[in-house]
């Protein structure tokens, strides 16, 4: 009987280890997929590919920038074009700072440093970004974007 209990304990322990590894792999894959959708969005903006950029946004996306909260229709009609132009002309370097996955949601925090243009008084800019993405039947979609920027200090 003790031998059976030990075998059962060993089997449960092995199962738990396999589940932990599988969960870690799933989490790692989800983190990579969440980052990938944000990167594809930025690439679409830089390439002025509005079709791809829009396809990555959830129907209920919210975009927060400069003290305003825009729904999808507001963003597409008032801000998407300006973001594509700014992204196309940007020499900024984007760095993902943190990715956190909780179930089918993830948030991706990143920063973008843009160098000085060389003009007097222009030291470049710093952009902080937080995107919330969700995994659904059609893949990962951007549910919310928060952008905050400032001029770089000398």
Which CATH number fits the domain that encloses residue 53? Answer: 3.10.450.50
What is the count of structural domains for the chain? 1
CB atoms within 10 A of CB 85: 12
DSSP 121: T
- Domain of 103, in residue numbers: 2-151
- pLDDT 10s digit of each residue in the chain, 154 long? 444 433 433 433 443 333 333 344 458 899 999 999 999 999 999 999 999 999 999 999 999 998 899 999 999 998 899 889 888 877 788 899 999 999 999 999 999 887 776 666 666 778 899 999 999 999 999 999 999 877 767 6
Buried b (16+ CB within 10 A) or exposed e, 30-56: bbebbbebbebbbebbbeeeeeebeeb
pTM for this model (two decimals)? 0.77
38 within 8 A of 44, measured Cβ to Cβ: no
């Amino acid at each position: 009987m003790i031998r059976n209990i030990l075998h059962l304990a060993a089997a449960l322990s092995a199962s738990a280890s396999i589940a932990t590894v599988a969960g870690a792999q799933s989490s790692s894959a989800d983190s990579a997929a969440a980052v990938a959708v944000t990167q594809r969005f930025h690439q679409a903006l830089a390439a002025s590919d509005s079709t791809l950029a829009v396809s990555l946004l959830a129907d209920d996306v919210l975009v927060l920038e400069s003290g305003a909260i825009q729904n999808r229709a507001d963003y597409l009609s008032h801000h998407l074009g300006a973001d594509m132009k700014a992204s196309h002309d940007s020499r900024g370097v984007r760095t993902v700072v943190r990715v956190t996955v909780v179930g089918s949601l993830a948030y991706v925090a990143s920063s973008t440093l843009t160098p000085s243009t060389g003009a007097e008084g222009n030291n470049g800019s710093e952009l902080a970004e937080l995107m919330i993405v969700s995994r659904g039947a059609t893949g990962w979609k951007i549910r919310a974007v928060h952008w905050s920027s400032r001029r770089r200090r000398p």
